[in-house]
């Protein structure tokens, strides 16, 4: 059976609709619905308009309303500021996700096939594209209000897009996340009326609907920020500044009632949330507990209800906590990947033989078996938990040998051929994963590389400095930090759009674009998969890209551990997918 297209993946089968607590109205007039029978349908013919259908939230007869969830680990440290558009990233990403609405949302229902495998409505009630991905018409829900009773409308979507693109630091960050939605740094957005929004892309993007459900695209009511906020004019005069939690009043399921620096947040349920059946919890307490050992003790003492996922337990800690009769552990595939970014603009890493030698010096199998107790995996470029896009190393053929085959003898031969028998290089990394990632992994890499004559000199700096200063890694290696991608096509988001695989100033990829024919060919394939709506064809293109990356060892990934998400047994549906898209909190309840 042919798989449905990307632009039609929001279609929900009749069986699924009947399972939900409410069935909404069909999409815009003239739009052809997919999957209205009993499951998957064939790909929609070219030229057919495609519509979104309303969310059908699976009802849970045993769920209880009320109670406070005490959860830590979502924030990796104290936030540098409360204005999400100004601080960006994971620091306020989780807060934005549970306090605001977006046009779409990733399907994080407990019985979902996967967060970005199914994009479902949020603020948008339905949508259609009459021209196969250039023009998008969204029909918005009526009565979507924030805790102050302010209704969010189409004009607020446009204002939020405009503010984000003007205020985000570095400038244009939002535009880089979906460049074809903007022309001259203005979103191509029109409010047809209060409840009809039109967005135009310069060219189709297969990830568009998924992007609209990521934390980057949270919608705010303009009056909440501009009327309450003091306009300090830091970046964009007239757009206000968020300086207190009373300004974080999105139309999402929860809103922050308190924030104490270096201590944490408290959230309450939005009494005006558009779905009366959700969310179940009355409140969420989110203390900042970054040390997993302290979190484990708090869980055992029943002073904490849940911990994870960004600050995570080690595999050993998860296995130990799993023995408790008070706790439950949900193992999620690899929460974080830490790629090494070679400085390919200069010797020695402009030589693929040197990069390959580094990869072949690492015994990944023993690493997973011994350090991760068998709960881990290797990959290149695409996160394995996104099973739709992942490619197992064993399927990469001869190209995969360059990145995954443990062969220290060959590593030595490659170093000798490259004239670098006694290679020494600096590694710059951050302290963001000090307890479970940076130190033990960097030390293990150091010992393995030493076996083939490579000396790794590790420099650990604070996370903020690490993000700002990649020049320190010149002639060496810069360790990046990749958490759950924002789009279905991780390949385009992280390679084509910049981000973690590039670094702030050590733009090795930029250098390759100009000089390397193999990389230029890679870019061509990447652009093809970016707009490819047929999932099977797109998967083959992504596989092609992965093999090219492995062949050239353009970056290096060490094996990643599975992530133990731990909660009290009184907590239900605490299964947050790796990363900070905290939509799952709508479905969590507590005895």
Helix H or strand E segment including 85: helix 84-87
What values do phi and psi take at 171, rounded to 5? -55, 135
Segment 135-165, tens digit of pLDDT:
999 999 999 999 999 999 999 999 999 988 8
Cβ atoms of 321 and 327 closer than 8 Å:
yes
How many domains, the chain? 1
What values do phi and psi take at 306, rounded to 5? -160, 155
Q: What is the per-residue burial (b if ≥16 Cβ within 10 Å, else e) of 504-532? A: eebbbbebbeeebeebeebbebbeebbbb
Global pTM value: 0.80
Q: What's residue 15's pLDDT?
A: 27
Q: Which DSSP symbol is given to 406?
A: -
In a domain, 455, yes or no: yes
Q: What's residue 435's pLDDT?
A: 44
Q: Which tokens belong to 537? A: 């064809």
Beta strands in 379-500 (DSSP E): 424-430, 455-461, 477-479, 482-483
Spacing of C-alpha 138 from chain mean position: 24
The domain in which residue 418 lies consists of 336-561
Q: What's residue 437's pLDDT?
A: 53
Q: What's residue 470's pLDDT?
A: 59
Q: What's residue 487's pLDDT?
A: 38
Q: Which tokens belong to 266? A: 């408290």
Q: What's residue 280's pLDDT?
A: 95
**Strands 455-461 vs 424-430: parallel, antiparallel or unpaired:** parallel
In a domain, 357, yes or no: yes
Residue 263: CB atoms within 10 A of its CB come to 12
Segment 294-325, tens digit of pLDDT:
999 999 999 999 998 777 788 899 999 999 99
As a whole number of angstroms, the distance between CA 522 and CA 5 comes to: 24
CATH of the domain at 530: 3.10.105.10
| Residue spans of the chain under pLDDT 50 | 1-59, 383-389, 435-436, 484-506
As a whole number of angstroms, the distance between CA 235 and CA 564 comes to: 40
In a domain, 259, yes or no: no
As a whole number of angstroms, the distance between CA 463 and CA 433 comes to: 9
């Amino acid at each position: 059976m042919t798989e449905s297209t990307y632009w039609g993946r929001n279609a929900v089968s009749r069986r699924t609709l009947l399972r939900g607590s409410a069935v909404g109205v069909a999409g815009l007039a003239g739009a052809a619905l997919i999957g209205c029978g009993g499951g998957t349908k064939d790909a929609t013919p070219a030229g057919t308009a495609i519509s979104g259908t309303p969310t059908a939230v699976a009802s849970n007869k045993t769920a209880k309303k009320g109670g406070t969830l005490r959860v830590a680990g979502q924030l990796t440290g104290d936030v540098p500021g409360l204005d999400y558009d100004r601080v960006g990233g994971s620091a306020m990403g989780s807060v934005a996700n549970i306090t605001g609405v977006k046009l779409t949302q990733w399907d994080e229902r407990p019985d979902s096939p996967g967060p970005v495998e199914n994009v479902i409505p949020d603020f948008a009630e339905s949508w259609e594209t009459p021209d196969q991905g250039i023009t998008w018409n969204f029909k918005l829900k009526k009565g979507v209000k924030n805790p102050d009773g302010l209704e969010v409308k189409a004009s607020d979507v446009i204002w939020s897009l405009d503010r984000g693109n003007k205020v985000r630091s570095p400038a244009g960050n939002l535009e880089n996340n979906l460049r074809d939605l903007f022309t001259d740094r203005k979103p191509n957005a029109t409010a047809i009326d209060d409840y009809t929004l039109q967005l135009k892309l310069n060219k189709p993007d297969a990830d568009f609907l998924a992007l609209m459900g990521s934390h980057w695209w949270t919608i705010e009511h303009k009056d909440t920020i501009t009327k309450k906020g003091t306009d300090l004019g830091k970046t964009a005069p007239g757009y206000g500044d968020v300086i207190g939690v009373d300004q974080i009043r999105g139309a999402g399921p929860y809103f922050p009632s308190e924030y104490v620096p270096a201590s944490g947040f408290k959230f309450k349920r939005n009494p005006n949330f558009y779905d009366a059946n959700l969310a179940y919890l009355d409140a969420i307490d989110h203390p900042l507990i970054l040390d997993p050992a302290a979190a484990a003790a708090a869980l055992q003492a029943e002073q904490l209800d849940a911990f994870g996922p960004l600050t995570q337990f080690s595999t050993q800690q998860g296995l130990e906590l799993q023995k408790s009769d008070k706790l439950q552990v949900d193992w999620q595939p690899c929460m974080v990947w830490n790629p090494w970014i070679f400085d390919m603009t200069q010797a020695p890493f402009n030589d693929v033989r040197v990069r390959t030698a580094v990869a072949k010096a690492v015994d990944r199998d023993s690493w997973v078996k011994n350090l991760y107790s068998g709960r881990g995996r290797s990959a290149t470029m695409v996160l394995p938990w996104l099973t739709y896009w992942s490619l197992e190393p064993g399927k990469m053929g001869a190209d995969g040998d360059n990145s995954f085959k443990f062969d220290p003898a060959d590593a030595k031969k490659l170093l000798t051929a490259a004239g670098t028998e006694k290679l020494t290089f600096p590694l710059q990394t951050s302290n963001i994963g000090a307890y479970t990632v940076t130190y033990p992994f960097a030390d293990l890499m150091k010992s393995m590389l030493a076996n083939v004559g490579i000396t790794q000199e590790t420099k650990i700096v604070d996370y903020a400095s690490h993000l700002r200063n990649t020049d320190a890694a010149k002639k060496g290696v810069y360790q990046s930090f990749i958490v759950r991608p924002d789009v279905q096509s991780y390949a385009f988001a992280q390679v084509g759009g910049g981000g973690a695989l590039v670094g702030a100033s050590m733009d090795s990829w930029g250098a390759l674009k100009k000089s390397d024919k193999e990389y230029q060919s890679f870019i061509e394939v990447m652009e093809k998969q970016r707009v490819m709506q047929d999932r099977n064809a797109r998967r083959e293109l992504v596989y092609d890209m992965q093999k090219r990356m492995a062949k050239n060892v353009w970056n290096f990934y060490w094996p990643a551990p599975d992530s133990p998400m731990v909660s009290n047994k009184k907590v239900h549906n605490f299964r947050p997918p790796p990363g900070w898209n905290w939509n799952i909190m709508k479905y969590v309840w507590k005895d």
